[in-house]
Amino acid sequence: METKKSKRGKTPLYIQIISDLRQKIIERELPDGSFLPSERHMAERLGVHRNTVTKAYNELKAEGFLISLHGVGYKVSYKENPENMGKDSIKVKNVNWSHLVKGEYLDIEKSFDDIFSRSYNAKSISFAGGISSTSVYEEQDISKIFTEVISRRKETSYFYTPYRGDKNLRKQIAGFLRGKGIKNDIGNIQMFSEMNQALDFIVTILLDPGDTVITEEPLSPDVYRTIEFAGARIITVPVDENGMKCDNLEPLIEKYRPKFIYVNSSYQDPTGKVLSFERRKKLLQLSYKYRLPIVEEDAASEIFFGKSRVPSIKSMDQGDNVIYIYSFSLTFIPGVGAAFAVAPKQVIKSLSYLVSVRLISLEWASEKMLAAAFENDLYYKKLQDFRREYKEKRDRMCKWLDRLKTFGVRYEKPSGGVYIWCNMPDKTDVKKLSVEAKKEGLNFVPGNMFYPGKKAGRQMIRLNYSYPSLKQIDEGMKTFIKLVLAQQNT
């Protein structure tokens, strides 16, 4: 539904909205019984204050064009047909979905999802979503891989993937993991469509309502929301230049008896920090002492710009205490999703059972395409291209950010990964900056989104450089600098 308004004329905005909606209702473009967008959504769509929309809706209600239903919204009620309201008619009573849907799923903080979804808008420049570059795998690469998958006619079940994932892909991943120092076999690997699905299934089999999980902070909203939806409590530990601070972890473990510790060990989202080797050892020591599982997320570990890497916690684990999850979302074809978990076989068995209950099949095309890329070494060749391209994009974005250092913008240049964590000047209103940027077709994520309580990180922002092109980085950073300076000069 398109609604017109103009801020240039003398007619008040709420009257313009009334006139436009009234005409649409009379002309049946908005038929009887249809619902209007909520006041908040209509205000966002029109770029006006919510009170303006509320006033317009109430006027239309007074004129008899709308009725309001508690917990449902505004409904068009123009010219109800009395012939349909005879003795034998049944009065329509709308289901009050707000009372049926569980509270934790009804009152969801959607800001992060809304910002991320705008990453896919071709008309905007996104520094928000952690998405792989679209230029590394060219059309002929994708076509060749997919043709190879489809042409394997002898595989009669090529359109179906077993619950644990494609066997050939798990074999290829086992070899990939050996290159990372992680000993395993295909029986220890469970495939998923994406990282969020992997974490969701792990949380489902491990957590009960009331359990506690220790996590780092800041951290991805996808992580803490998944844990909160399970009814668990989150105890957060700050991240510094060496990753999650481990000095005071033991008293927290003694006090809260957590079910597991979650850590994003390499090029952490959103800070880009790497957990130091000493802290990785400390986590393992605590894990062994308290028989405490560690869930290690390691999706960005292959995106390093130097020669040395810190070994994964999983590769250092002398027992079997670490569940390792990895995603190809940053190093494979955009939209072709694949992730996996490495865990003890009894855990994998439970995860596989959960997959069989919730899904008919995993994404066969994605898994077979990735397996084909591994088999002909294309994945490893393209991995080098991703590193070169992301490094160039990081340098370009940092060069622009350096222009703002004299105005108080602070950041540390990441040694890998895809994010830059920026501390904005005290005078900066990050929320307002985000809104103004959105109006100009630029998206980034405000820092408070990465704190479960939303009370910290108000002067921080996260910038992603993997997805935008170099040209978009230049255009987007020009806009960003202009908006930042405008706030500093007011």
Q: What is the pLDDT of residues 271-303, one digit of tens each?
A: 999 999 999 999 999 999 999 999 999 999 999
**Which residue among 358, 380, 402 closes a domain?**
380
Domain presence at residue 272: yes
Domain presence at residue 351: yes
| Whether the predicted pLDDT of 355 surpasses 50 | yes
Pick 163 or 249 by higher pLDDT.
Answer: 249
Distances from the Cα of 488 to the Cα of 68, 404, 428, 479, angstroms? 44, 11, 7, 15
Task: Evaluate whether 242 touches 279 at the Cβ level (below 8 Å).
Answer: yes
Q: Helix 470-488 and helix 430-439: axis angle, to 10°?
A: 130
Say whether both 122 and 181 belong to one domain: no
Which range among 127-136, 257-266, 436-445 shows the weakest confidence by mean pLDDT?
A: 127-136
- Tell me which residue has tokens 């006027």: 59
pLDDT, tens only, 95-108? 766 667 666 555 55
Domain presence at residue 95: no
Half-sphere exposure at residue 121, Cβ-oriented, CA atoms within 13 angstroms: 16
Pick 173 or 68 by higher pLDDT.
Answer: 173
Say whether both 309 and 396 belong to one domain: no
Q: What is the pLDDT of residue 84?
A: 41
Confidence class of residue 113 from pLDDT cuts 50, 70 and 90? low
Q: What is the pLDDT of residue 106?
A: 54
| Whether the predicted pLDDT of 415 surpasses 70 | yes
Say whether both 308 and 415 belong to one domain: no
Say whether both 250 and 397 belong to one domain: no
Q: What is the pLDDT of residue 105?
A: 57
Domain presence at residue 96: no
pLDDT, tens only, 125-177? 999 888 899 899 999 998 888 888 877 755 555 556 678 888 999 999 999 99
* Of the ranges 37-51, 68-82, 118-132, the best mean pLDDT one: 37-51
Q: Which CATH number is 373's domain given?
A: 3.40.640.10
Say whether both 176 and 284 belong to one domain: yes
444 Cβ neighbours under 8 A, 6+ residues apart:
115, 127, 128, 434, 437, 461, 462, 463, 464, 480
Across the chain, mean pLDDT equals 87
Q: What is the pLDDT of residue 306?
A: 87
Q: What is the pLDDT of residue 304?
A: 95
Which range among 87-101, 127-141, 183-197, 394-408 shows the weakest confidence by mean pLDDT?
A: 87-101
The alpha helices in 135-189, defined as continuous H runs, are: 139-150, 167-178
Sequence letter at residue 393: K
Say whether both 9 and 25 belong to one domain: yes
* Averaged pLDDT, 422-431: 92
| Whether the predicted pLDDT of 462 surpasses 50 | yes
Pick 89 or 121 by higher pLDDT.
Answer: 121
Domain presence at residue 431: yes
For residue 487 the two structure tokens come to 């706030």
Q: How many domains does the chain have?
A: 3
* Averaged pLDDT, 261-274: 97
**Which residue among 340, 361, 380 closes a domain?**
380
Percent of the chain residues past pLDDT 90, beyond the cut: 59
Q: What is the pLDDT of residue 221?
A: 92
Q: Which domain holds residue 145?
A: 139-380
Q: What is the pLDDT of residue 83?
A: 44
Domain presence at residue 87: no
Q: What is the pLDDT of residue 50?
A: 86
Domain presence at residue 180: yes
Say whether both 125 and 25 belong to one domain: no
DSSP string, 259-288: SEEEEE-SS-TTT-----HHHHHHHHHHHH
Q: What is the pLDDT of residue 339?
A: 95
| Whether the predicted pLDDT of 110 surpasses 70 | no
| Whether the predicted pLDDT of 400 surpasses 90 | yes
Q: How far apart are CA 52 and CA 379, in angstroms?
A: 53
* Of the ranges 33-37, 175-179, 425-429, the best mean pLDDT one: 175-179
| Whether the predicted pLDDT of 237 surpasses 60 | yes
| Whether the predicted pLDDT of 461 surpasses 60 | yes
Q: What is the pLDDT of residue 207?
A: 95
Q: What is the pLDDT of residue 192?
A: 93
Q: What is the pLDDT of residue 284?
A: 97
Which range among 14-28, 251-265, 293-307, 325-339 shows the weakest confidence by mean pLDDT?
A: 14-28
Domain presence at residue 93: no
Task: Evaluate whether 55 touches 20 at the Cβ level (below 8 Å).
Answer: no
Q: Is 157 exposed, middle or buried (0-12, 13-18, 19+ CB in 10 A)?
A: exposed
Question: What are phi and psi for residue 146, nearest 5 degrees?
Answer: -70, -40
**Which residue among 380, 408, 435 closes a domain?**
380
Q: Which CATH number is 37's domain given?
A: 1.10.10.10
Pick 31 or 416 by higher pLDDT.
Answer: 416
| Whether the predicted pLDDT of 66 surpasses 50 | yes
| Whether the predicted pLDDT of 211 surpasses 50 | yes
Say whether both 311 and 405 belong to one domain: no
Q: Which CATH number is 415's domain given?
A: 3.90.1150.10
Say whether both 213 and 294 belong to one domain: yes
| Whether the predicted pLDDT of 10 surpasses 70 | no
Say whether both 236 and 355 belong to one domain: yes
Say whether both 149 and 278 belong to one domain: yes
Pick 22 or 215 by higher pLDDT.
Answer: 215
Say whether both 170 and 297 belong to one domain: yes
